[in-house]
Structure 1
């Protein structure tokens, strides 16, 4: 008869083996993504050098775009964000700011700074939304429109923006973001050159904390002093440069960041617009992929590494925890809503690769990791043969976390070089070495907490306090 000790030993051995196999599969998958990203990023970088963007600047060649900026209590940074958009390099565009019932001075600041006046603007209500109170137009900038509406959430604000906008393509942006002047030319290039094949294009999102920004423009790129924010910078580099490039290469991308993405308005309207979920940006992309497959159309959704949108990152554990909790709930919402795609050959690689990847690796990954940390701690405490399991799992977690993050930092320096100071690259590299020791376990716990909140059907975004990314 097995003793408690024998059963515990079997449990540790089986659990460690399962976690080892799982993490090995994940590491192999990420390694394939990394190799794909290296070749793709370098190829695109060299092409960009050889093929400048002058042709896109010609009105006859480009496609007009509506830039939608949903804003809720963004009074601190809204002026700088809009200023940056009004000075971008692109032939024909309009900026539509949607004030989603803000309780602060967001609307008042816009009216004052941009000399807004009410206008009679005809709205083609193709998507159902909350009531629009008023529409303003700037007397200084003809291409700036501000919509004041009842509070309905980010998805509702974006749907209002789609109804109000005039142009066939729209870009969704966060109200606290700063766009590089040439970012729009770069993110629109695959759409323009594909002749309708590409229906959505997303750019990179980087963290503005620590950068010097004046009058809505990036003056110099730098690192913040807070380790928590530096780790988020590394995390963003890894997610965008390693993950999204690899997925985009094979049309497997299920996320176009809500902070910076361009979409075909016609396709989004036919898909039903943005839905009222926690992760409305991912849910829309999954729905677009679903529509493409069901119509048997040859359309693509791509990611472009170089165009950069700079945004403010949480600087406290409290707000970062809320953000990651919300992101994970949003991930599950999208996966659950479109669960019929999972392993469904009708939806091709989206059903057979993308959906399983996001469920088994992105969604369930934190649960497996947390269990691995518990096994490591327990094995270390028990000593003996369990130490071997602890060391093995710890080495795997370092490879899974820190090594891939260090590679992303090197990939940034090798290709895009957004950080001009060598000391900044060294700091990023050294911080990435510590990821497995403190930052990754924190994010794992927060994401697992998101799963618990999801099971308890907790809704909402959670309050986020903005400091503002620049001086006005």
Structure 2
């Protein structure tokens, strides 16, 4: 029975052999183009790192710390059901090295004890605070301050249904010209803000946004909100995400920063100008990819106003975040990311190949379409079609090996090259065995994990077409943190 079906399918494909090879050629070309872009990104990332490296410059950070010229900053922390991590997160921010800082936590209608945990830990009391009503958000139920920590303000609001709503509420209450958005499950290194503020000090008229590196917190030792020991995760799921984060931030974002075409600054750790954020209407609530959408919104506004501007990614400042340890949770995250990317692409399709938006419209947006819209479909089809047609005898061995080389060998090469770049410039891995372990992960992820991710992106495509909404559950364990 199966043999007859195989023969029938083989006969069908042989009858339409021209279209079969044309289709396979398109899939092959898409993969080749993606890898070509990655190959171009590597030297660009290296050039950007050499040009703006702060790795060996701690003296400037000390001078900034005691300087009165540093631009004041607000940290905005959207929090929803973050009972396990919120206290450690706030503790870490209270000890950040920065001369003039305020911390605003927006409790977005949490259903757990997030608010009570903050009240108990920091002795919060109800307070009155003047604020703007410029940006829309869900109703504020109360505002709390801490007598012991006057720089801390907690805004308790009704659930707005998305992270952007909480960010807008905190932004209305903020008072400083710069603000930093940090996820409630994340920890900043002490010098992170000093390193990120430097581009604003160097080019105050042009710099509009700066992003830092996100690294996986799982496996590290945390005491009272501070990382005391850096280590790799012991479980495979967060370990492979460590490799993904290094590749995404250290190569791709450094390269696009070099070309001044950054498309995304992570909503888990980014610094922005408050005045521009108010002018563009704050963070949008109509997309699940609010951080991606916000950066594209800034590019649109600045290009339409013909304002000269720059955005930069700075690799040295690190924000440590808790990565999902269960595949079902990771699936929720990745399908949401895919939905968000498709929503932003659809919302801003008029910018694609539009010279009105300069290099961003002509180069960055088409790349985003290739990576976020076309790429997932082409990769998944390739995983299914190439082996299937080889099994039927339609595809010869040379073509199949070429496909595997593009999607596996070159992908591993890019990952390992990124690791080398990181170690040469930043030396983030404390032990040689960690580099070896990550190098092995870069190889192993191609056999099963990458295909699973490809399938999740297809699921995200399907959810986008069905107009599925919502974040899904992202449970936090806070397992890394210990109290003295």
Q: Which category of TM-score, normalised to the shorter sequence, fits these structures? A: over 0.9
Of 427, 443, 457 in structure 2, the residue corresponding to residue 447 of structure 1 is 457
- Counterpart position of 2:291: 281
Of the structure 1 ranges 274-283 and 372-381, higher mean CA displacement relative to structure 2 is found in: 372-381
Of 220, 225, 241 in structure 1, the residue corresponding to residue 229 of structure 2 is 220
Q: Could you say if the C-alpha distance between residues 373 and 121 of structure 1 is closer, same or farther in structure 2, counting changes exceeding 3 Å?
A: same
- Counterpart position of 1:94: 102
Of 204, 208, 218 in structure 2, the residue corresponding to residue 195 of structure 1 is 204
- Counterpart position of 1:351: 361
Residues 1-30 of structure 1: CA distance to partner in whole angstroms, max 9, x if unpaired? x96242354344223222222222211111
Q: Is the 8 A contact 2:386 2:395 kept in 1?
A: no
Please list, as runs of the form range in 1=range in 2, the aligned pairs for 1:6-155 lying within 5 A after superposition.
Answer: 6-45=14-53, 48-49=56-57, 52-152=60-160, 153-155=162-164
Report the alpha carbon displacement of residue 423 of structure 1 after superposing the two structures with TM: 1.0
Report the alpha carbon displacement of residue 129 of structure 1 after superposing the two structures with TM: 1.4
Residues 33-88 of structure 1: CA distance to partner in whole angstroms, max 9, x if unpaired? 11110122133336753863233213422000000000000000111111000000
Q: Is the 8 A contact 1:23 1:400 kept in 2?
A: no
Report the alpha carbon displacement of residue 344 of structure 1 after superposing the two structures with TM: 0.6
State whether structure 2 residue 339 is matched by structure 1 residue 329. Answer: yes
Residues 270-310 of structure 1: CA distance to partner in whole angstroms, max 9, x if unpaired? 00001112011111110101011011011112111110000
Unaligned stretches of 5+ residues in structure 1: none
Please list, as runs of the form range in 1=range in 2, the aligned pairs for 1:390-429 lying within 5 A after superposition.
Answer: 390-429=400-439
Residues 371-406 of structure 1: CA distance to partner in whole angstroms, max 9, x if unpaired? 111123213422475322221101111144222112
Unaligned stretches of 5+ residues in structure 2: 1-9
Report the alpha carbon displacement of residue 161 of structure 1 after superposing the two structures with TM: 0.3
Residues 385-431 of structure 1: CA distance to partner in whole angstroms, max 9, x if unpaired? 53222211011111442221122222221111222011111100111
Q: Is the 8 A contact 2:55 2:316 kept in 1?
A: no
Q: Could you say if the C-alpha distance between residues 180 and 421 of structure 1 is closer, same or farther in structure 2, counting changes exceeding 3 Å?
A: same
**Distance in 1 separating the partners of 2:193 and 2:180:** 9
- Counterpart position of 1:303: 313
Q: Could you say if the C-alpha distance between residues 131 and 50 of structure 1 is closer, same or farther in structure 2, counting changes exceeding 3 Å?
A: closer
- Counterpart position of 2:6: none
Q: Could you say if the C-alpha distance between residues 5 and 172 of structure 1 is closer, same or farther in structure 2, counting changes exceeding 3 Å?
A: closer
Report the alpha carbon displacement of residue 339 of structure 1 after superposing the two structures with TM: 1.2
**Distance in 1 separating the partners of 2:79 and 2:58:** 38
- Counterpart position of 2:482: 471
Q: Is the 8 A contact 1:221 1:418 kept in 2?
A: no
SS of residue paired to 1:52 = helix
Residues 222-255 of structure 1: CA distance to partner in whole angstroms, max 9, x if unpaired? 1111111111000000000000000011111010
Residues 342-396 of structure 1: CA distance to partner in whole angstroms, max 9, x if unpaired? 1110110111001100011232211110111112321342247532222110111
**Distance in 2 separating the partners of 1:41 and 1:440:** 28
Q: Could you say if the C-alpha distance between residues 160 and 444 of structure 1 is closer, same or farther in structure 2, counting changes exceeding 3 Å?
A: same
Q: Is the 8 A contact 2:353 2:361 kept in 1?
A: yes
**Distance in 1 separating the partners of 2:11 and 2:184:** 61
SS of residue paired to 1:437 = coil
State whether structure 2 residue 163 is matched by structure 1 residue 159. Answer: no
How many equivalent pairs are there? 471
Of 359, 370, 376 in structure 1, the residue corresponding to residue 380 of structure 2 is 370
**Distance in 2 separating the partners of 1:129 and 1:400:** 46
- Counterpart position of 2:371: 361
Q: Is the 8 A contact 1:401 1:440 kept in 2?
A: no
**Distance in 2 separating the partners of 1:3 and 1:459:** 43
TM-score (norm 2): 0.94
Q: Could you say if the C-alpha distance between residues 275 and 50 of structure 1 is closer, same or farther in structure 2, counting changes exceeding 3 Å?
A: closer
TM-score (norm 1): 0.97
**Distance in 2 separating the partners of 1:387 and 1:12:** 16
**Distance in 2 separating the partners of 1:434 and 1:22:** 23
Q: Is the 8 A contact 1:16 1:393 kept in 2?
A: no
**Distance in 1 separating the partners of 2:289 and 2:12:** 45
State whether structure 2 residue 229 is matched by structure 1 residue 245. Answer: no
